[in-house]
Chain A
Amino acid sequence: MSDLPIIELQAVTRRYEEGVRSRLVLDGVDAEVMPGEIVALLGRSGSGKSTLLNLISGIDLPDAGRVIVEGRDITGLAERERTLFRRHRIGFIYQFFNLIPTLTVAENVALPLELVGRPDKGEVSRLLEQVGLAERGDEDPDRLSGGEQQRVALARALIHAPSVILADEPTGNLDAETGAQVMDLLTRLVREQGATLVLVTHSQEVASVADRIWQLADGHIQEARGAPA
């Protein structure tokens, strides 16, 4: 494991214009995540958790400050470069799964591989098997249960072996038991791949799987539980 952080946030500020008002969501945030770490991000609704994930992935830009991932300042990259960076280095998991309804289960999983230009049916099958959906590859996503859909999303996020996985309330739309199963699977696979996971959640229980827990409030991050020694 490298000694250098894989994610660095330096004085990151982000505000939203809401009508005539301006709302400050992140107020000069400084933070670091080391490679292979699992970080849970807690906070109230509207506290800026999802914004932080969007900034790390480069789908949003800060108003001030720098976001450095794998040593590259992505705030200085052009839109296309940020997209290509995301394509290769980031995997996303959402609360509402966001599977593409016009693609089958297997095709949804294969999508990132195809985008990076190395389609690999064997890898798709292997990962589907790992998430327990080997038999459902040809089905449309809306035929699956919520837990199954999230497992497909999980496979899609991991298939191209990204270095960073960003999960935005991955269990928020699942019952407790299914949520626990999904979290087990997610943490196991992330650990196996040696990837870094930043996890947004409301649940202390979900956050307990993390190496570190950040609390986001009033635009600032506070470390609720430190990194293991």
Chain B
Amino acid sequence: MSLTSLALWRDARRHPWQWVLAVLGVAMGVAVVVAVDLANHSASRAFGLSLEAVSGKASHRIESAGPGGLDEGLFTQLRMAGIRPSAPVVEGHVRVAGETFPLLGMEPFSEAPFRSHLPGVLDPAVRELVSRPDTLALGRGLARRLGLEAGDSLTVTAPSGRQVLSVGAILESPAPGVEGLLLTDIATAQVLLERVGRLDRIDLILPQGADPERLLAGFLPPGARVLETGAREQSARQLTRAFHINLTAMSLLALLVGSFLIYNTLMFAVLRRRPLLAALRTLGVTRGEVFRLVMVEAAVLALVGGVPGLLLGLLVGQGLVHLVTRTINDLYFVLSVTGLHISPWLLLKGLGLGVGAALLAALAPAWEAARTRPREGLRRSGLERRVHRLMPWLAVVGALLIAAGYGLVAASQGLVAGFIALFLMIMGYSLLVPLAVWLLSRLLVRPLGFTLGITGRMAARGLAAALSRTGVAVAALTVAVSATVGVGIMVDSFRTTVQGWLGHTLQSALYVTSPAPGDERAGSLLPEGVMERVGSLAEVATFSTGRRIRVASGHGDVDLFVMAPAPASYEGFRFRAGAPDAAWPRWQRGEAVLVSEPFAWHHGVSLGDELTLFTPRGEQVLPVAGIYQDYGSQQGVVLMARGLYEQWWDERRVGSLGVYLAPGVEVSAGVEAVRRALDDLPEPVLVTAAAEIREASMEIFDRTFAITHVLRLLTVGVAFVGILSALKALQLERAREYAVLRATGMTPGQVTGLVTLQGALLGLAAGLLAIPLGMMMADVLIDVINRRSFGWSMQQHVPPAVLAEAVWLAVIAALLAGLRPAWRMGRVRPAQALREE
């Protein structure tokens, strides 16, 4: 270590707490970034592996356009025609002990070329066991979780109802993607998933460059098509992309707040060591060398904080991955993440981001240090005067950045552009903070002076007097708290909108659905005879029917909701485009479809556009007669009249009933009557009051945003460390001032009160300033996250509680951070403080 570095290092050792706090800030910032990255990556990798487990090495797949799947005879035809390797697959979901698991039915003898990379699956013993009827195989980890051993029985709830299977084999060390899967042979899967004689798809490995359409010409029945396997993965990844980007943006916010902390620490260190730096300059240390010294210091700080940050990130990541998986399971698809996937690259990236943020934050302090003149250290008042001169210019640049942010939002529709705009606005607003703090300080001097006397005036003026420090501390806390406000308003607006939507969309008093998990293509189905039994009840006035299936369209696979509405059902739809009076008759006649708002957004569909659907009767083209509000599906749905569906798909079964009760019948009595009527069906059904569905939906909604709340808290945690560091720095600088006050006759209690009041004012300033920024953030978040990611429009709803929460959160954080410094300053020994000058 050079002597110059040694001089700085020894100086740093005299003020360890300031560096410890900065290290803590870096560690927390890096930890949040790494944790989110790891959770995202682990979920994404688990998704890739499970897809690989079920898709294997297939290059193409043959699928049916309709929910019925393919006739299994097609597989035999292909084999006989020499089109191989080929393997039939039946897949769906079953429920075990309240959890949903993917079920893969395969034909072991055709599997070798496709899934040979999955160790254990193709062992002869496993093959034999799996070939036996009503037998399944599963991984050791899952078996342990469910308490199963080979030979045990297992009850599953499948589309065919409750079935008892035997555990034929346990795969000792399956590939990660197989761990969450239940494996059976084709015949067992066909029975469980009610697809006897049918296949969901046929996997193919076609020679490179082969034209699948030409190769398979003459084999494909109407409604069947051949697809590249990558397309499916792409569309599923697209689904969760927005979710992962949102999380990443939240984690970067924590890093940004951490950077403020690094800036504050280094700037403070530079100012405090001004005489030392001046002495070094006198001895011939150049400006460039001083600049480098501070930058190296920042890099060391970032590395020292970054390494424990990585470890902390691993710990937090363990918790986050469960939240991320739960959200994906609630919103997107069944995903089983068996553990955190730690890649060295991710850790390196986290550390790199931490060091990068620290170096950026260190630029200004290093520049300030390099300006030190030999022989004379600039006094603090000199720096403050410069900050005051700079303040209007910072505000102008800030305003320009905010305007640029809004401009970017208006000019671009992209999700990433939206987040860049958001960060521009946050940075811009941070530059406005010093001016705002100065104004607030001026504003508070009189009222505080009037109520608290000279102590109040000193506390208020203190805000503006050390603007170089308070400005940054307040900016850090403002950004952190504004995230609370922004996300709070966004979630509340969303919640209020969804609540309203659930209120009007669930027009029926109760709903009848199947408890069995739905097949991906055919959806859940009610047993035969439900409609007749419900329709004959005296308590029931009428009912609507619905069924959700996945069909192929000109826009890829889309969700089709087939509906036979009751007269009151129409009230449940709010149109965003199109006139209900004109649209409904066309829809009822089968001349048009309606699409939900997210569908229109994601597929760029407007009123009057034509939609191509691949049906068992060939390609059908229908115009879009209306676009309606819907928050039930992120990708959106196409709404089709039941008559038209039956005509094209030749399908009669329904997935759900919406029951309207006769006048005077209580909902509970209605539920009871319907339950009694359906009690002796061979398969159980669920009868649920609309209110219960509303409640359950809101529960899922709240669970979805749990991770957001965790990230908010972590960000506030980083800011808390920031404000603690700033207050401690301020107090160290003002120790002499407090000593003079004590010498003049202020009691320890009065000094403690003054310091506490200053802390509270910092918090108050941050809390108040967080409100406008939070509202701006909410504006962009609603636009970016809800509209750009999901296509959901909504009214901004500003709950006063969220605004009040921001202010008290900031004040409490600042007061808590100020507790110990205030206590210590109250007990400062004036003789010693005055002697140390």
B740 touches A83 (CB 8 A): no
A87 touches B744 (CB 8 A): yes
Number of cross-chain contacts by CB at 8 Å: 78
A84 touches B745 (CB 8 A): yes
With A and B bound together, what is the CA distance between A80 and B826 in angstroms? 12
Q: Which residues of A contact B326 (CB under 8 A)?
A: none
Measured CB to CB, the closest approach of chain B to A46, in angstroms, equals 10
Known: A60-B831, A94-B740. A102 touches B745 (CB 8 A): no
Q: Which residues of B contact A119 (CB under 8 A)?
A: 453
Interface of B is mostly: helix
With A and B bound together, what is the CA distance between A57 and B743 in angstroms? 8
With A and B bound together, what is the CA distance between A102 and B463 in angstroms? 9
**Stretch of A66-74, A110-118, A178-186 with 4 or more beta carbons under 8 angstroms from chain B:** A110-118
Residues 737-751 of chain B, each 1 if its beta carbon lies under 8 Å from chain A, else 0: 100111111111000
Measured CB to CB, the closest approach of chain A to B60, in angstroms, equals 76
Residues 682-701 of chain B, each 1 if its beta carbon lies under 8 Å from chain A, else 0: 00000000000000000000
With A and B bound together, what is the CA distance between A107 and B737 in angstroms? 15
B454 touches A103 (CB 8 A): yes
Measured CB to CB, the closest approach of chain B to A168, in angstroms, equals 8
Most buried by B among A51, A90, A142: A142
B462 touches A80 (CB 8 A): no
The residue of chain B having its C-beta at the shortest distance from the C-beta of A100 within the complex is: B737
Residues 84-121 of chain A, each 1 if its beta carbon lies under 8 Å from chain B, else 0: 10111010101010101111000100111011100100
A59 touches B743 (CB 8 A): yes
- Is B458 part of the contact surface with A, judged by Cβ < 8 Å? yes
Interface size band for B: 20 to 34
Known: A59-B742, A59-B830. A142 touches B381 (CB 8 A): yes
Measured CB to CB, the closest approach of chain A to B388, in angstroms, equals 11
Q: Which residues of B contact A86 (CB under 8 A)?
A: 743-745
B743 touches A102 (CB 8 A): no
Measured CB to CB, the closest approach of chain A to B391, in angstroms, equals 16
Measured CB to CB, the closest approach of chain A to B271, in angstroms, equals 15
- CB under 8 Å from chain B, chain A span 38-69: 50-51, 54, 57, 59-60
Known: A83-B747, A87-B745, A88-B745. A98 touches B831 (CB 8 A): no
The residue of chain A having its C-beta at the shortest distance from the C-beta of B461 within the complex is: A102
Most buried by A among B736, B746, B831: B831
The residue of chain B having its C-beta at the shortest distance from the C-beta of A143 within the complex is: B381
With A and B bound together, what is the CA distance between A60 and B465 in angstroms? 30
Q: Which residues of B contact A87 (CB under 8 A)?
A: 744-746
Measured CB to CB, the closest approach of chain A to B748, in angstroms, equals 7
Q: Which residues of A contact B834 (CB under 8 A)?
A: 50, 54, 59, 94, 98
- Is A223 part of the contact surface with B, judged by Cβ < 8 Å? no
Measured CB to CB, the closest approach of chain A to B455, in angstroms, equals 9
B835 touches A112 (CB 8 A): no
The residue of chain A having its C-beta at the shortest distance from the C-beta of B462 within the complex is: A102
Q: Which residues of A contact B744 (CB under 8 A)?
A: 86-87, 92, 111-112, 115, 156
- Is B837 part of the contact surface with A, judged by Cβ < 8 Å? yes
Q: Which residues of A contact B737 (CB under 8 A)?
A: 98, 100-101
B831 touches A107 (CB 8 A): no
Measured CB to CB, the closest approach of chain B to A108, in angstroms, equals 10
- Is A123 part of the contact surface with B, judged by Cβ < 8 Å? no
With A and B bound together, what is the CA distance between A93 and B475 in angstroms? 38
B740 touches A114 (CB 8 A): no
With A and B bound together, what is the CA distance between A61 and B835 in angstroms? 14
A96 touches B381 (CB 8 A): no
A50 touches B835 (CB 8 A): yes
Measured CB to CB, the closest approach of chain A to B774, in angstroms, equals 30
Q: Which residues of A contact B462 (CB under 8 A)?
A: 102
- Is B457 part of the contact surface with A, judged by Cβ < 8 Å? yes
- Is A79 part of the contact surface with B, judged by Cβ < 8 Å? yes
Q: Which residues of B contact A60 (CB under 8 A)?
A: 829, 831
With A and B bound together, what is the CA distance between A107 and B458 in angstroms? 10
Known: A98-B736, A102-B458, A103-B458. A54 touches B742 (CB 8 A): no
The residue of chain B having its C-beta at the shortest distance from the C-beta of A113 within the complex is: B454
B748 touches A83 (CB 8 A): yes
A112 touches B745 (CB 8 A): yes
B748 touches A111 (CB 8 A): no
With A and B bound together, what is the CA distance between A92 and B740 in angstroms? 9
B465 touches A101 (CB 8 A): yes
- CB under 8 Å from chain B, chain A span 155-188: 156
Q: Which residues of B contact A115 (CB under 8 A)?
A: 454, 744-746
With A and B bound together, what is the CA distance between A98 and B735 in angstroms? 11
Measured CB to CB, the closest approach of chain B to A118, in angstroms, equals 12
With A and B bound together, what is the CA distance between A100 and B453 in angstroms? 15
Q: Pick the contact of A102 from B465, B742, B746 — CB < 8 Å?
A: B465
Q: Which residues of B contact A102 (CB under 8 A)?
A: 457-458, 461-462, 465
B743 touches A111 (CB 8 A): no
Q: Which residues of B contact A101 (CB under 8 A)?
A: 381, 465, 737
B831 touches A59 (CB 8 A): yes
Residues 813-837 of chain B, each 1 if its beta carbon lies under 8 Å from chain A, else 0: 0000000000000000111001101
With A and B bound together, what is the CA distance between A116 and B747 in angstroms? 12
With A and B bound together, what is the CA distance between A87 and B750 in angstroms? 13
Measured CB to CB, the closest approach of chain A to B462, in angstroms, equals 5
- CB under 8 Å from chain A, chain B span 461-487: 461-462, 465
Measured CB to CB, the closest approach of chain B to A45, in angstroms, equals 12
Q: Which residues of B contact A54 (CB under 8 A)?
A: 830-831, 834-835
With A and B bound together, what is the CA distance between A142 and B737 in angstroms? 14
With A and B bound together, what is the CA distance between A83 and B453 in angstroms? 19
Measured CB to CB, the closest approach of chain A to B160, in angstroms, equals 78
Measured CB to CB, the closest approach of chain A to B577, in angstroms, equals 60
B745 touches A116 (CB 8 A): yes
Most buried by B among A100, A102, A111: A102
Most buried by B among A57, A100, A119, A156: A100
Most buried by A among B457, B740, B829: B740
Measured CB to CB, the closest approach of chain B to A190, in angstroms, equals 18
Q: Pick the contact of B741 from A57, A88, A100 — CB < 8 Å?
A: A100
- CB under 8 Å from chain A, chain B span 429-478: 453-454, 457-458, 461-462, 465
With A and B bound together, what is the CA distance between A54 and B740 in angstroms? 12
Q: Pick the contact of B457 from A50, A92, A103, A156 — CB < 8 Å?
A: A103
Q: Which residues of B contact A111 (CB under 8 A)?
A: 454, 741, 744
Q: Which residues of A contact B831 (CB under 8 A)?
A: 51, 54, 59-60
Q: Pick the contact of B837 from A90, A96, A100, A116 — CB < 8 Å?
A: A96
- CB under 8 Å from chain A, chain B span 703-748: 736-737, 740-748
Q: Which residues of A contact B381 (CB under 8 A)?
A: 101, 142
Q: Which residues of A contact B461 (CB under 8 A)?
A: 102-103
Q: Which residues of B contact A112 (CB under 8 A)?
A: 744-745
With A and B bound together, what is the CA distance between A79 and B828 in angstroms? 12
Measured CB to CB, the closest approach of chain A to B828, in angstroms, equals 10
A107 touches B743 (CB 8 A): no
Q: Pick the contact of A114 from B454, B465, B748 — CB < 8 Å?
A: B454
With A and B bound together, what is the CA distance between A86 and B746 in angstroms? 9
Measured CB to CB, the closest approach of chain B to A114, in angstroms, equals 5
Q: Which residues of B contact A88 (CB under 8 A)?
A: 745
A100 touches B745 (CB 8 A): no
B748 touches A100 (CB 8 A): no
A100 touches B747 (CB 8 A): no
Contacts A59-B834, A112-B745 known; 14 new A-B pairs at CB < 8 A: A50-B835, A54-B830, A59-B830, A79-B748, A86-B744, A86-B745, A87-B744, A87-B746, A90-B745, A94-B740, A100-B740, A101-B737, A114-B454, A142-B381
- 3 smallest A-B Cβ distances: which pairs? A87-B745, A60-B831, A102-B461
Q: List 10 A-B contacts (CB under 8 A).
A: A57-B743, A80-B747, A98-B736, A100-B737, A102-B462, A103-B458, A103-B461, A107-B454, A111-B741, A114-B453
Partner-A contacts on B (CB < 8 A): 381, 453-454, 457-458, 461-462, 465, 736-737, 740-748, 829-831, 834-835, 837
Partner-B contacts on A (CB < 8 A): 50-51, 54, 57, 59-60, 79-80, 83-84, 86-88, 90, 92, 94, 96, 98, 100-103, 107, 110-112, 114-116, 119, 142, 156
